[in-house]
Amino acid sequence: MPFPLLNIAPLNSTGSILPHKIDPVPGPCNFTNITQKPQGALISQNLYSPLSLTLRSPAKALFTTPPAIDAMVGLSVGEKHFIKGGIEQDLRTDGRKRYTYRPIYVETGVIPQARANGSARVKLGATDVIASVKAELGKPSPSYPDKGKVLINVDCSPTAEPAFEGRGGEELSSELSVALQRCLLGGKSGAGAGIDLSSLSIVEGKICWDLYIEGLVVSSDGNLLDALGAAVKAALSNTALPKVQVASAASDEQPEVDLSDEEFLQFDTSGIPAIITLTKVGKHYIVDGTSEEESQMSSAVSVSVNRQGRICGLTKRGGAGLNPSVILDMISVSKHLSDQLINKLDSEIAAAEACEEDEF
Amino acid sequence: MAGKGAATPATYSPSLTTVKGKKKPPIFADDANWVRSDGRHFHQCRPAFLRTNAVNSASGSAYAEFGNTKVIVSVFGPRESKKAMMYSDVGRLNCNVSYTTFATVHRNQGSDSKELSSMLYKALEGAIILESFPKTTVDVFALVLESGGSDLPVIISCASLALADAGILLYDLVAAVSVSCLGKNLVIDPILEEESHQDGSFMISCMPSRNEISQLTLTGEWSTPKISEAMELCLDACSKLAKIMRSSLREPLSASEE
């Protein structure tokens, strides 16, 4: 639990208990939600909640919330029922259906060219992420001499969520990085990768491009992985690699290269898959869950699907086990949804690029 | 650690076997007649050797040997959670995977142990009845003595056996199996050589008697029918592996009765 927020709680409890409890849709700034419910609210909850028959003192209740995501979203029993019931009836708290995304907003070139070769910002409701691509010349690894290297790293800033401070964000960061790597980079040999590694090779076994893809979570309201996947795709389509002139050198020497200042090569992003996370709440699954909805999930499966409808990566989150047939069903649902999402993303990216060009 | 010759390793192979005949030099060609370098069929697992009680000081431990992959897992606890941790009415699970320096051909070349640790955690957390030990922590330490391919599935299976040996309440044993996609073929329980040439990999950890998948990962490009085929193959292998795991738990008991 974040310390400074605990101090805010008594202030809130004086006036705004009721409106806060009735409104199941949190406002744009849900920091008030993060604090524990005021004392009065807890006791009134006890009256009708079957779960809290054992009387807990509010002070103890502060620590009973399970760790991780649930700790960040303080929800009352009523709110939890509201979310679950809504999902069951295909009408979520913000009016969406189970398979409807929040509006996606894409902006490219948010970081100046001198700092990064490509960048993009993706907003999905209140979730806000930035991805940047930095290209450097490097040496290919000896096991794959004809391929470039791509490193993906995600950073969860404490500005997004106080719980991300210090080591708290580390766990989520590494989980997201691994999931992104799995979804975009394919297997060890690079086969089936969304990013074509052989296109990054300049001189076989000598020089290649190293792409450093960095994701930053600016604000988090659920569905981080999908947003990051979209941001990486947008950032890569925004990436311009300088044209490389290779001065011919003896075969055993490191060849000299010359980077062009004027000619740039666009990166081909048509093969990059979209990531779709299906969050299972109760019996049903939803796409693009908010953090409130994600706190109620039993498990989530992230599937990355490319334009050809082939699965490029899959990861599962959440402790609860899943029946094999459910997983196969989730895969087919996400495959079905991928078409729409990829088209939507492509048009958003194209619009963002056009908008960026207008500015110059 | 138990000697290798103590018991005849039980082999298990899932059905759905399409036997590919004829010997050929072990090349990684997209060839239906190709025989794997260790002489197995595509859908045949390595012989599994499992033994509990490998470490005396631990509350529970297990040793697993699948071909060249050798793993030892110790379970400590449940012990009191560290004071700095907040109160929790469910138990905590702490997983750690490490490689010995001699586990791989090149020194310290083992896969990212941090990633493996988190994968191990995710595979096990759904199987343990954490409510049975509130306020306490269970430590699961896995050490890869020799890395010979399919490390993670072996670690997961071995860890669940060690948990059972430690008397931690489980919903079911967790068995894990991986499949590699080499060209058009699916190869179960791949060795290191096959893993480095694979086009895609698929790993499942499941609780066979509950018919539940606790964790799965997939890399590379797959079509939906191929995924269903791989899943069917893995699930069948997992249920057969779980039987071997169960019998290895009973083994020390029957020995003491004699």
3-class secondary structure, A260: strand
CB nearest to B213's CB, from A178, A324, A331: A324
Contact flag A191-B115 (C-beta cutoff 8 Å): no
Is A128 inside any structural domain? yes
**How do residues B80-123 score in pLDDT, each as one tens digit?**
887 777 778 888 888 999 888 888 777 666 667 788 888 899 89
3-class secondary structure, B222: strand
Residue A236 DSSP class: H
Is A72 inside any structural domain? no
Contacts 24+ apart (CB under 8 A), B16-19: B16/B43, B16/B232, B16/B233, B16/B236, B17/B41, B17/B43, B17/B44, B18/B42, B18/B43
Minimal CA separation from A294 to chain B, in Å: 17
Which residues on chain B are in Cβ contact (under 8 Å) with A336?
A: none
Per-residue pLDDT of chain A (360 residues; tens, 9 = 90+): 444 433 333 333 333 333 333 334 443 333 333 333 333 333 333 333 333 333 333 333 323 233 344 445 678 888 888 888 888 888 888 888 888 889 999 998 888 877 788 899 999 888 899 999 998 888 887 777 788 888 899 988 888 877 787 777 888 888 888 888 888 877 666 666 677 777 788 887 788 888 899 999 988 888 899 999 999 999 988 888 888 877 766 566 667 777 777 777 787 788 888 899 999 888 888 988 888 888 888 889 999 888 888 888 888 887 788 888 888 999 999 888 888 889 988 888 888 888 877 765
Residues B189 and B150: beta-carbon distance below 8 Å: yes
* Phi then psi dihedrals of residue B117, to 5 deg: -60, -45
User: Distance between CA atoms of A208 and A197, rounded to whole angstroms?
Assistant: 10
- What mean pLDDT is predicted for residues B215-244? 89
Candidates B237, B234, B177, B242; CA nearest to B207 is: B242
The tokens for B38 are 């260790």
Q: Is A307 on the interface with B (CB under 8 A)?
A: no
User: Distance between CA atoms of A267 and A185, rounded to whole angstroms?
Assistant: 15
Q: Is A315 on the interface with B (CB under 8 A)?
A: yes
Closest chain B residue by Cα to residue A195: B220
**Cis amide leading into B78 (omega within 30):** yes
Place of tokens 């005949």: B21
Residue A57, number of CB atoms within 10 A of its CB: 9
Contact flag B219-A186 (C-beta cutoff 8 Å): yes
Q: Which residue has the higher pLDDT, B171 or A268?
A: B171
Minimal CA separation from A37 to chain B, in Å: 18
Residue B258's pLDDT is 59
Is A254 inside any structural domain? yes
The number of folded domains in chain A is 1
Residue B8's pLDDT is 54
Q: Is B28 on the interface with A (CB under 8 A)?
A: no
Q: What is the CA radius of gyration of chain A?
A: 23
Residue B257, number of CB atoms within 10 A of its CB: 6
Is A170 inside any structural domain? yes
**How do residues B145-158 score in pLDDT, each as one tens digit?**
988 888 899 999 99
B26 class by beta-carbon count within 10 Å (0-12 exposed, 13-18 middle, 19+ buried): middle
Counting Cα atoms < 13 Å in the Cβ hemisphere of B23 gives 3
How many interchain CB pairs under 8 A, A with B?
113
Residues A108 and A94: beta-carbon distance below 8 Å: no
DSSP B173-204: --EEEEEEEETTEEEES--HHHHHH-SEEEEE
**How do residues B175-207 score in pLDDT, each as one tens digit?**
999 998 887 888 888 888 888 778 888 999 999
Residue B73's pLDDT is 93
CB nearest to B207's CB, from A192, A315, A321: A321
B60: left (phi over 0), alpha (psi -120 to 50) or beta: beta
Contact flag B217-A324 (C-beta cutoff 8 Å): no
Candidates B222, B216, B223, B218; CA nearest to B238 is: B216
Residue B9 DSSP class: P
Is A175 inside any structural domain? yes
The tokens for A150 are 């791509």
Is A9 inside any structural domain? no
Domain with residue A325: its CATH number is: 3.30.230.70
Q: Which residues, 6 or more positions from B243, have their beta carbon under 8 angstroms from its beta carbon?
A: B12
Q: Is B200 on the interface with A (CB under 8 A)?
A: yes
**In terms of DSSP bridges, do strands B92-99 and B136-146 run parallel, antiparallel, or are they unpaired?**
parallel
The tokens for A313 are 């990566």
Q: Is B9 on the interface with A (CB under 8 A)?
A: no
User: Distance between CA atoms of A124 and B221, rounded to whole angstroms?
Assistant: 27
CB nearest to A187's CB, from B201, B214, B235: B201
Chain A interface, best mutation among B105, B150, B221, B234, by max A CB count within 10 A:
B221
Residue B14's pLDDT is 65
- What mean pLDDT is predicted for residues B22-35? 50
What residues are paired with A154 via a beta bridge?
A215
Residue A184 identity (one-letter amino acid): L
How many Å separate Cα B72 from the centre of its chain? 11
Chain B interface, best mutation among A189, A326, A333, A337, by max B CB count within 10 A:
A189
Q: Is A6 on the interface with B (CB under 8 A)?
A: no
Residue A11's pLDDT is 37
Is A315 inside any structural domain? yes
Q: Is the pLDDT of residue B4 over 60?
A: no
A52 class by beta-carbon count within 10 Å (0-12 exposed, 13-18 middle, 19+ buried): middle
Candidates A93, A86, A37, A31; CA nearest to A65 is: A37
Q: Is B121 on the interface with A (CB under 8 A)?
A: no
Place of tokens 């390793």: B9
Which of A180-184, B5-9, B140-144 has the highest average model confidence (pLDDT)?
B140-144
- What mean pLDDT is predicted for residues B37-51? 84
User: Distance between CA atoms of B161 and B205, rounded to whole angstroms?
Assistant: 13
Question: A198: domain range?
Answer: 104-359
Contact flag B231-A327 (C-beta cutoff 8 Å): yes
User: Distance between CA atoms of A270 and A233, rounded to whole angstroms?
Assistant: 9
User: Distance between CA atoms of A263 and A250, rounded to whole angstroms?
Assistant: 26
Which residues on chain A are in Cβ contact (under 8 Å) with B87?
A: 60, 63-64
Is A2 inside any structural domain? no
Domains by residue range for chain B, with CATH: 36-253 (3.30.230.70)
* Phi then psi dihedrals of residue B55, to 5 deg: -120, 125
